[in-house]
Structure 1
């Protein structure tokens, strides 16, 4: 293992030991949860969005080191970004992990330390769980803003 891989591995372990932005927001404007039933990882993401920009973000839950480190690093990476930029970052991160984009071409910053996960297909879902919750939080709020009625909020059919 070379020094660069050692550095990346240490960064991931540091985020697992001391996750950034862990906890809850008092009044989130966006929120969603994600679960990986295969391994039991559970992550909830809460955002405070103002004028289309992530003002604050928190995550909570439990999971493996990859899941927790990725969620922690995600919060640092998207805090302060506009929503479109956060979505674009998620797409690049996902593309690197699924092997459709090379890490050096993705402009991921510190997130590149998780690129090695792509060599372990069973762990890719772990690294993407927090990101999926983030995208659901953004999408669900966008649906509400456009007046869409969530399927689970539709009125029940009345019996004759």
Structure 2
């Protein structure tokens, strides 16, 4: 079996696992920011709640109802952005969207983080195969739409 097929199978497993057993599902008692996203075409819905500390995302929770892709995307997004500054989280979202449509504007894998580089996508690369299934890209991007709404008035 080729590495590409084995890699795709591993990512499929990751998406299935995170949709069945999300690590970041739930609520924050008093969130600092809230964003919601809905896809009227398929019925996916997600709500993202954030706690911010010193312009960093200290906690993320989501309530997502939808397909496995949307559920896994919400959970992996929450994991990836926890601890990032607001600008870093926004940049990861931009890179995620670019990856889904095969746009590359800077070297893959890193975003600037002051003196250190922060891996840009990590496990979010599991969604790269969606490039071949354009109708499912909206499912993976929905949590990022909710995040963008939550951060719309955060000026950093």
**TM-score w.r.t. length of structure 2:** 0.86
Give the corresponding residue for 2:143: 130
Instruction: Flag structure 1 segments of 5+ consecutive residues without an equivalent.
Output: 146-160
| Alignment equivalent of 1:119, drawn from 128, 132, 151 | 132
Q: Distance in 1 between matches of 2:104 and 2:122?
A: 15
2:84 pairs with 1:81: yes
Pick the structure with more strand per residue.
2
Partner SS, residue 27 of structure 2: coil
Give the corresponding residue for 2:30: 27
Cα displacement string for residues 1-58 of structure 1 (whole angstroms, at most 9, x for unaligned residues): 7211111111111101101210110000000110000000000000000110001000
Give, in angstroms, the shift of residue 61 of structure 1: 2.5
Instruction: Flag structure 2 segments of 5+ consecutive residues without an equivalent.
Output: 110-119
Q: For 1:136-147, what aligned pairs fall within 5 Å after superposition?
A: 136-139=149-152, 141-142=153-154
| Structure with bigger gyration radius | 1
Pick the structure with more helix per residue.
1
Partner SS, residue 22 of structure 1: coil
**TM-score w.r.t. length of structure 1:** 0.84
